[in-house]
Amino acid sequence: ERIAQQDQQVRAYLGVCPERALAQARKIDRQVAAGEPLGPLAGVPTAVKDVILTRGLRTTCASRILENYVAPYDATAVERLEAAGAVVLGKTNCDEFAMGSSTENSGFFPTCNPHDLSRVPGGSSGGSAAAVAANLATVSLGSDTGGSIRQPAALCGVVGIMGTYGRVSRFGLVAFASSLDHIGPFGRTVRDVARVLRAIAGRDPKDSTSAAVPVADYEATLDQSLRGVKVGVPSEYFAGLSAEIGDNVQKGIDLLAKLGCSIVPISLPHTDYAIACYYIICTAEASSNLARYDGVRYGFRSPEPELHDMYRKTRDQGFGAEVKRRIMLGTHVLSSGYYDAYYLKAQKVRTLIARDFLEAFEAVDVIVTPTSPIPAFKLGERVDDPLQMYLADIYTVTASLAGIPGISVPCGRTKGEPRLPVGMQMLAKHFREARLLQVAHGFEKAGGFAIA
């Protein structure tokens, strides 16, 4: 009912699934009545980004090309959520194929930021962040390739975590850039995302890149003291930042110091190359992954009698402008004569960026940065300027390229009206999610920033 009333303004959902939700709720009710043990997410209302497959439900990737595509199976993350008792309410809006930073690239409609309906919720998982911020779900799943969980979490004032690459199975996540794609949760508190992450993480034989590293009980260590934790602050992430973001993040760092963390200035020298590197690698992978939408195997098909016309028209009519831009860019950087200059070079730079982090983590436990250089911007403000849109990812793409885990937690609000949420990003070494969640939780508890 709440979705029916309030989502007319926010537009976080592309579709809801009341039958599936009520069936699961009845199952949980029966377990309660029978006194059976309940799963860790029993009865928790959950939204799922529409790039994640849900059996029997439409899974569109917010693209016209998949407008009528019904998934034949559940993603492993969804299967695990439901096994833990979660109640899936529906599928959330996003940028088409998760390409974007504002949810304005959705092939259907943009989602609005619940804190100010004239502004974007961030992206690409804007619907999943907005659903949680507007209390239209308790938790949600998003996907993060270059910041699509952390950045919308920051802009909507909620918590979002991307685990280590391989921490959560990608089986059933529609591929955008396979070496960068992750599934991860949004919630109103660090504890909520810790619980969801634990439920969905772990080795999955259906995804050969999922890691066989044991999953810790993240909630068990949340309340450990922050005394002595070494927090790195990279100088490269504080230049060219809006003053209000900088002030809030600085206050956040001061709070961590007050909690007993030692603050260590560090340098991540290859940060400047991250956006260029990311947009070469992700478009290269996207151009390959999206070749499968040919009008034959999936979704939309343009009714042309001649085969090549059919391919061309299907893709021309089915894909939006940003998706086409990336397919062209990705094809270009992979083409003979350009491969060495662009794609191969970007792969080398990726290694240097990862090495920056590994060296930094010799000296510190976590790294703290702003999540986004700016707070939620106005709908329409950046949508015609792809480069401006790409720059919104400046602080998030580095962790994606390095494969390390990252979380965004609320760390205050801007001064003007409306007071917009500001997010702080924390990063840790591969598979140190427990440490990340512990620091984020200690920070949240001391600052009281979370929207209750």
Return the closest-CA partner of residue 93 out of 106, 75, 82, 81: 106
List CB contacts of 29: < 8 A, sequence separation 6 or more. Answer: none
CB-based contacts of 64, cutoff 8 Å, min separation 6: 107, 300, 317, 318, 319, 320
Q: Which residues are catalytic?
A: 49, 124, 148
- State the minimum distance, in angstroms, from the CB of residue 310 to ligand GLN: 29
Q: Which residue is nearest to ligand GLN (CB)?
A: 148
- Distance between CA atoms of residues 278 and 346, nearest Å: 8
Cα-trace Rg, the chain: 21
| Nearest distance in Å: CB 320, ligand GLN | 13
Nearest by Cα to 312 from 290, 332, 288, 295: 295
Nearest-approach distance from CB 441 to ligand GLN, in angstroms? 24
Nearer to ligand GLN, 314 or 369 (CB): 369
Nearer to ligand GLN, 7 or 144 (CB): 144
DSSP 8-state assignment for residue 236: G
Report the distance separating Cα 142 and Cα 427, nearest Å: 18
Nearer to ligand GLN, 12 or 42 (CB): 12
Q: Which of 100, 299 has the CB closer to ligand GLN?
A: 100
Q: At its nearest, how many Å lie between ligand GLN and the CB of residue 175?
A: 11
Please report how close the Cβ of residue 447 comes to ligand GLN at its closest, in angstroms.
26
Residue with smaller CB distance to ligand GLN, 126 or 447: 126
CB nearer ligand GLN, residue 92 or residue 143: 143
Q: Sheet harboring 406-413: ordered strands across? A: 13-16, 87-92, 45-49, 139-144, 182-187, 159-162, 406-413, 421-428, 366-370, 230-234, 262-266
Phi, then psi, of 131 in degrees rounded to 5: -60, -40
Query: What one-character DSSP code corresponds to residue 305?
Result: S
* Closest separation in Å from C-beta 146 to ligand GLN: 3
Q: Return residues touching ligand GLN (CB under 6 A).
A: 98-101, 124, 143-148, 176, 282, 393
